[in-house]
């Protein structure tokens, strides 16, 4: 760094959505993958989306524009490519072939693992780093984006995944010695980052953003030392841009003093999920007994004294570093006061007070979002259909950018040491911006749980009753719920919404699709069937559309992985189930076959985790309200003669607080919510649950505590780790380790399915092992599904023969 760092403009955002306001990138990707268009077409869509983004941000008055937040698939994958960390088995073709082979697999080669990005519903590709990985800079992407923006007359700040987060989130390459960790390669990786920073400096780039969200989770002394090494080394470089290290999704904790002691010029703090360093949470903000907006919505932050069972967050834990004022004195603090994780408008007064508290400590304050806006939809103006009372409380990405810009102006206009809330508070006189729900929840509070919803008979009793009743073979074969969502179904749903198709015609189509799925499963010989979920646009949105207290959007798409998106519902009020939701479809499916058909529900934690949630009451209370609604559905399904009911909880792990100290309390109420939803079922009713992307090995006790009779789980793409665990031997109930990865178009061979099943049979008795894919089949085609399920059934039949002999 040369003498004085350039001044950081007054406002910025850490990142912005990239799928396109109308999912242009999704369509371009899928068209390219299907061979309907070329890579050049895909690139030109990308270029157009980047241009629109920069022009939009600039037009909204944002001070500093990010670049590099665009990706054709994922930013961790981009970083692996940037560093040249492409495993040999993906090389050989063009660079784009290698890129998409890592993301999606290719002929004869499985994709890299994919997993959750912290506690979000975004999924990243897990890079593989081994002792022999050779790193080599490929700066094409960051450099070309800086140049592209320049052609539009705009300067940008390249955004990169930081070296520590990159290595901590990577996995050891297959064959690496057991004691090897990707972080062992830090020195080599830093060499590449140094080279990159020098190239960017030569290009005239003033600031670079290095994202280090991994620093908000618990870090060991060795890892903190890696942080120090990294930023002393990069900071000590002679010719480099100014360095902005961004943290998000929580407090930096012990990493803050370490980072602050390095020469980096700017530090980004998430002041929505975290708090102003050295202050009690909510300093300058309302430190009162009501939930703190923006805080309660995040896992583990919902706790309020005496309300939710989450201790330790209402007061700053003793162990958290409380840096003295001097710590940030020479630094620019990029203050994330506008949430990038929710869709609520920012309480301007409170945000300004937080900014003033930061300004007391920092050399210079920049107003920003708490994290990238990747996790929220583009623009509220694309939702004309929203109820005006709900809409008033909302801000999507573009509205949040405007809030950042406005706050920066207010901050500039507010003199130092202004009394908070006093006459100089510019918001005075304006209506208070609040996202508080119109009225607090009264009825569906935890105290009102009907007794019968809490306890079931012991597993052994239930297992005997179910065995008697269901009469299933050993190694029963089933699927996770969804069958392919055909274009015809999607078009019909769009036509129904547009009023071009009547409900009766739509229902006929759904019934026909159910019949098709049931007939296929019967023909292939599955043991426990599903109806295929053709009536659902999404496993969460569908329930939200049938429950009170939720609003849904028409176009509020948020990227989940690659080209796949969801429209997270907006949970704004008390949740109630006005009438049965799934019973008629389940009933119809069961009427078509003598085999049991699973009733299929989404669990309370997952419905909440994949929605934007009101933050005026504790998260736990919201989840319990949803649990009660699902509980009524369980009992109605049972009353309608459904004997196997699956309640999915794929987001159980995702909603878990990032810090260890908060996790047990969360798991306790999350499990309680699940049991509240399912424990109304009688002994003969077999309750299944399903989890995916869960790092299930880390939460086995909680999964056990769900007390489901059968748990189907993702294990194919995470290397069957769960079966390596000795702990699984203590798992008492039925388990279906997913034997193949449904996210890849690849059809698994009978042989590889048998290998996976044999691994399960080494640790579990045959009467408790289920045979199933690792997740729902909705993203696949019928051809792929038929081929895969045929092999699944042959593998099970073959092993059943083995078992008997």
Ligand X SMILES: Nc1nc2c(c(=O)[nH]1)N[C@@H](CNc1ccc(C(=O)N[C@@H](CCC(=O)N[C@@H](CCC(=O)N[C@@H](CCC(=O)O)C(=O)O)C(=O)O)C(=O)O)cc1)CN2
242 binds, among ligand MET, Zn ion, ligand X, none (CB under 5 to 8 A by kind): none
DSSP assignment letter at 736: E
Binding to ligand MET by CB under 6 A, coded x per residue (else -) over 580-609, reads: --------------------x---------
Report the nearest approach of ligand X to the CB of residue 511 (Å). Answer: 17
* Closer to ligand MET by Cβ: residue 484 or 573: 484
Task: Please tell me whether residue 650 binds Zn ion under the rule CB under 5 A.
Answer: yes
417 binds, among ligand MET, ligand X, Zn ion, none (CB under 5 to 8 A by kind): none
Q: Which of 276, 692, 699, 796 binds Zn ion (CB under 5 A)?
A: 692
779 backbone dihedrals φ, ψ, rounded to 5°: -90, 0
Report the nearest approach of ligand MET to the CB of residue 134 (Å). Answer: 36
* Geometric angle at alpha carbon 434, from 432 and 439, rounded to 5°: 115
Binding to ligand X by CB under 6 A, coded x per residue (else -) over 526-555, reads: -----------xxxx---------------
* Geometric angle at alpha carbon 460, from 738 and 454, rounded to 5°: 85
CB proximity list for 700: less than 8 A, separation 6 or greater? 722, 725, 727, 728, 731
Are the CB atoms for 436 and 419 separated by under 8 Å?
no
CA distance 199 to 197: 5
- What do you get for the CA distance between the two ends of the chain, in Å? 73
26 assigned to a ligand binding site: yes
116 assigned to a ligand binding site: yes
CB atoms under 10 Å from CB of 639, counted, come to: 10
List the beta bridge partners of residue 565.
Answer: 559
Task: Please tell me whether residue 687 binds ligand X under the rule CB under 6 A.
Answer: no
Q: Which of 63, 253, 277, 481 binds ligand MET (CB under 6 A)?
A: 481
566 binds, among ligand MET, Zn ion, ligand X, none (CB under 5 to 8 A by kind): ligand X
Are the CB atoms for 764 and 728 separated by under 8 Å?
yes
Report the nearest approach of ligand MET to the CB of residue 429 (Å). Answer: 48
Sites for ligand X among residues 110-169 (CB under 6 A): 121
565 assigned to a ligand binding site: yes
371 assigned to a ligand binding site: no
Dump the DSSP string for 226-240: HHHHHHHHHHT-SS-
Q: Which of 491, 502, 730, 732 binds ligand X (CB under 6 A)?
A: 491
| Binding span for Zn ion by CB under 5 A among 361-369, 386-394, 645-653, 793-801 | 645-653
CB atoms under 10 Å from CB of 658, counted, come to: 20
What helix, strand, coil percent values describe the chain, rounded to 5? 40, 15, 45
Give buried/exposed letters for 570-582 (b at 16+ CB in 10 A, else e). bbbbbbebeebbb
| Binding span for Zn ion by CB under 5 A among 72-80, 319-327, 574-582, 648-656 | 648-656
Are the CB atoms for 169 and 117 separated by under 8 Å?
no
| Site size for ligand X (CB under 6 A) | 21
Binding to ligand X by CB under 6 A, coded x per residue (else -) over 552-581, reads: --------xx--xxxx--------------
Report the nearest approach of ligand X to the CB of residue 542 (Å). Answer: 9
CA distance 393 to 616: 12
CA distance 158 to 69: 8
Binding to ligand X by CB under 6 A, coded x per residue (else -) over 636-675, reads: --------------x-------------------------
Are the CB atoms for 755 and 763 separated by under 8 Å?
no
* Closer to ligand MET by Cβ: residue 243 or 775: 775
289 binds, among ligand MET, Zn ion, ligand X, none (CB under 5 to 8 A by kind): none
Report the nearest approach of ligand MET to the CB of residue 341 (Å). Answer: 20
Dump the DSSP string for 531-560: -B-TT-S-TTHHHHHTSEEEE--SS--EEE
Report the nearest approach of ligand X to the CB of residue 712 (Å). Answer: 14
Nearest alpha carbon to residue 430 among 349, 346, 339: 349
CB proximity list for 595: less than 8 A, separation 6 or greater? 521, 522, 526, 527, 528, 529
Sites for ligand X among residues 5-24 (CB under 6 A): none
| Site size for ligand MET (CB under 6 A) | 12
Q: Which of 90, 117, 610, 770 binds ligand X (CB under 6 A)?
A: 610
CA distance 155 to 206: 9
Sites for Zn ion among residues 748-777 (CB under 5 A): 775
533 assigned to a ligand binding site: yes
23 assigned to a ligand binding site: yes
Report the nearest approach of ligand X to the CB of residue 245 (Å). Answer: 29
Binding to ligand X by CB under 6 A, coded x per residue (else -) over 451-490, reads: ----------------------------------x-x--x
* Closer to ligand X by Cβ: residue 54 or 73: 73
Report the nearest approach of ligand MET to the CB of residue 649 (Å). Answer: 9
Specify burial of residue 107 (Cβ count, 10 A radius: 0-12, 13-18, 19+): exposed
Quote the radius of gyration of the chain (alpha carbons, Å): 26
Task: Please tell me whether residue 347 binds ligand MET under the rule CB under 6 A.
Answer: no
* Closer to Zn ion by Cβ: residue 613 or 775: 775
CA distance 59 to 61: 5
Residue given tokens 């930013």 in the structure block? 75
CA distance 365 to 361: 9
CB proximity list for 797: less than 8 A, separation 6 or greater? 525
Dump the DSSP string for 241-257: -EEEEE--SS--TTHHH
* Closer to ligand X by Cβ: residue 428 or 497: 497
Q: Which of 345, 493, 717, 746 binds ligand X (CB under 6 A)?
A: 493
* Closer to ligand MET by Cβ: residue 281 or 534: 534
| Longest CA pairwise span in the chain (Å) | 86
Report the nearest approach of Zn ion to the CB of residue 690 (Å). Answer: 6
Sites for ligand X among residues 29-48 (CB under 6 A): none
Task: Please tell me whether residue 602 binds ligand X under the rule CB under 6 A.
Answer: no
* Geometric angle at alpha carbon 294, from 58 and 570, rounded to 5°: 85
* H helical segments located in 601-656: 604-609, 619-639
Q: Which of 103, 420, 629, 692 binds ligand MET (CB under 6 A)?
A: 692
* Closer to ligand MET by Cβ: residue 130 or 532: 532
* H helical segments located in 397-528: 397-413, 459-470, 487-497, 503-524
CA distance 752 to 661: 40
* Closer to ligand X by Cβ: residue 223 or 537: 537
Q: Write out the catalytic residue numbers.
A: 743
Residue given tokens 């570093």 in the structure block? 321
Tokens of 593: 């076959």
Sites for ligand X among residues 765-794 (CB under 6 A): 778-779
Sites for ligand MET among residues 761-780 (CB under 6 A): 775-776, 778
* Closer to ligand X by Cβ: residue 188 or 491: 491
Report the nearest approach of ligand MET to the CB of residue 518 (Å). Answer: 15
CA distance 606 to 594: 31
548-551, strands of its sheet edge to edge? 548-551, 570-576, 612-613
Report the nearest approach of ligand X to the CB of residue 559 (Å). Answer: 9
Task: Please tell me whether residue 494 binds ligand X under the rule CB under 6 A.
Answer: yes
Contacting residues toward ligand MET, per CB under 6 A: 480-482, 539, 600, 648, 650, 690, 692, 775-776, 778
Contacting residues toward Zn ion, per CB under 5 A: 650, 692, 775
Contacting residues toward ligand X, per CB under 6 A: 121, 485, 487, 490-491, 493-494, 537-540, 560-561, 564-567, 610, 650, 778-779
From the annotation, which residues make up the binding site? 23-26, 116, 121, 480-482, 533, 564-565, 610, 648, 654, 690, 692, 714, 775
């Amino acid at each position: 760094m040369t003498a004085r760092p350039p001044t950081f403009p007054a406002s910025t955002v850490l990142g912005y959505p990239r799928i396109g306001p109308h999912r242009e990138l999704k369509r371009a990707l899928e068209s390219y993958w299907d061979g309907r268009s070329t890579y050049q077409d895909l690139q030109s869509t990308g270029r157009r989306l980047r241009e629109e983004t920069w022009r939009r941000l600039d037009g909204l008055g944002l001070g500093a524009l990010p670049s590099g937040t665009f990706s054709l698939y994922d930013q961790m994958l981009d970083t692996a490519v940037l560093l040249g960390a492409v495993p040999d088995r993906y090389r050989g073709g063009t660079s784009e072939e290698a890129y998409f082979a890592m993301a999606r697999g290719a002929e004869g080669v499985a994709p890299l693992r994919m997993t959750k990005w912290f506690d979000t519903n975004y999924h990243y590709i897990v890079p593989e780093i081994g002792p022999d990985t050779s790193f080599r800079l490929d700066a094409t992407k960051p450099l070309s984006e800086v140049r592209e923006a320049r052609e539009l007359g705009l300067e940008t700040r390249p955004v990169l995944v930081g070296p520590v987060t990159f290595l901590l989130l990577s996995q050891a390459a297959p064959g690496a010695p057991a004691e090897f960790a990707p972080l062992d390669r830090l020195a080599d990786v830093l060499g590449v980052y140094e080279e990159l920073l020098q190239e960017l400096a030569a290009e005239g780039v003033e600031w670079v953003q290095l994202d280090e969200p991994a620093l908000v989770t618990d870090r060991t002394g060795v890892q903190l030392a890696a942080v120090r090494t990294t930023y002393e080394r990069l900071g000590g470089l002679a010719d480099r841009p100014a360095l902005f290290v961004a943290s998000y999704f929580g407090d930096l904790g012990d990493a803050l003093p370490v980072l602050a002691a390095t020469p980096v010029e700017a530090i980004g703090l998430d002041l929505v999920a975290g708090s102003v360093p050295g202050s009690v949470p909510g300093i300058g903000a309302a430190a009162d007994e009501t939930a703190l907006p923006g805080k309660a919505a995040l896992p583990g932050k919902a706790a309020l004294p005496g309300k939710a069972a989450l201790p330790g967050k209402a007061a700053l834990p003793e162990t958290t570093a409380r840096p003295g004022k001097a710590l940030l004195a020479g630094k620019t603090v990029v203050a994330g006061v506008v949430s990038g994780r929710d869709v609520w408008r920012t309480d301007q007064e409170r945000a300004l007070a937080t900014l003033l508290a930061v300004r007391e400590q920092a050399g210079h304050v920049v107003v920003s979002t708490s994290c990238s806006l990747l996790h929220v939809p583009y623009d509220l103006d694309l939702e004309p259909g929203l109820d005006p009372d709900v809409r008033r409380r909302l801000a999507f990405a573009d509205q949040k950018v405007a809030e950042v810009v406005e706050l920066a102006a207010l901050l500039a206009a507010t003199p130092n040491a202004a009394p908070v809330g006093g006459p100089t508070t510019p918001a005075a006189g304006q209506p208070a911006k609040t996202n508080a729900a119109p009225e607090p929840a009264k009825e569906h509070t935890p105290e009102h749980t009907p007794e019968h919803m809490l306890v079931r008979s012991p597993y052994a009793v239930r297992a005997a009753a179910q065995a008697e009743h269901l009469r299933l073979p050993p190694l029963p074969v089933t699927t996770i719920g969804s069958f392919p969502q055909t274009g015809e179904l999607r078009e019909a749903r769009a036509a129904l919404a547009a009023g071009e198709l009547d409900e009766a015609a739509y229902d006929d189509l759904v019934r026909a699709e159910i019949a098709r799925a049931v007939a296929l499963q019967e023909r292939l010989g599955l043991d426990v069937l599903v109806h295929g979920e053709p009536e659902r646009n999404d496993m969460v949105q569908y329930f939200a559309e049938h429950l009170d207290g939720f609003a849904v959007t028409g176009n509020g798409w948020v990227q989940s992985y690659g080209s796949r998106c969801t429209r997270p519902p907006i949970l704004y009020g008390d949740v109630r189930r006005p009438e049965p939701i799934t019973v008629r479809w389940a009933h119809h499916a069961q009427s078509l076959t003598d085999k049991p058909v699973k009733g299929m529900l989404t669990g309370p934690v997952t419905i909440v985790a994949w929605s934007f949630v009101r933050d005026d009451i504790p998260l736990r209370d919201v989840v319990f309200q949803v649990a009660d609604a699902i509980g009524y559905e369980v009992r109605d399904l049972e009353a309608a003669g459904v004997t196997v009911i699956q309640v999915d909880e794929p987001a159980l792990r995702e909603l878990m607080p990032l810090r260890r100290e908060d996790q047990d309390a969360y798991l306790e109420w999350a499990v309680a919510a699940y049991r509240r939803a399912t424990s109304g079922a009688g002994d003969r009713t077999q309750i299944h649950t399903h989890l995916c992307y869960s790092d299930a090995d880390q939460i086995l006790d909680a999964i056990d505590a769900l007390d489901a009779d059968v748990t189907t789980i993702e294990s194919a793409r995470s290397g069957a780790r769960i079966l390596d665990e000795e702990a699984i031997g203590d798992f008492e109930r039925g388990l279906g380790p997913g034997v193949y990865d449904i996210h890849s178009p690849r059809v698994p061979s009978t042989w590889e399915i048998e290998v996976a099943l044999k691994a399960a049979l080494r640790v579990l008795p045959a009467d408790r092992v289920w045979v199933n894919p690792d997740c729902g089949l909705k993203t696949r085609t019928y051809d792929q599904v038929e081929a895969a399920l045929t092999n699944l059934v042959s593998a099970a039949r073959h092993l059943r023969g083995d078992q008997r002999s």
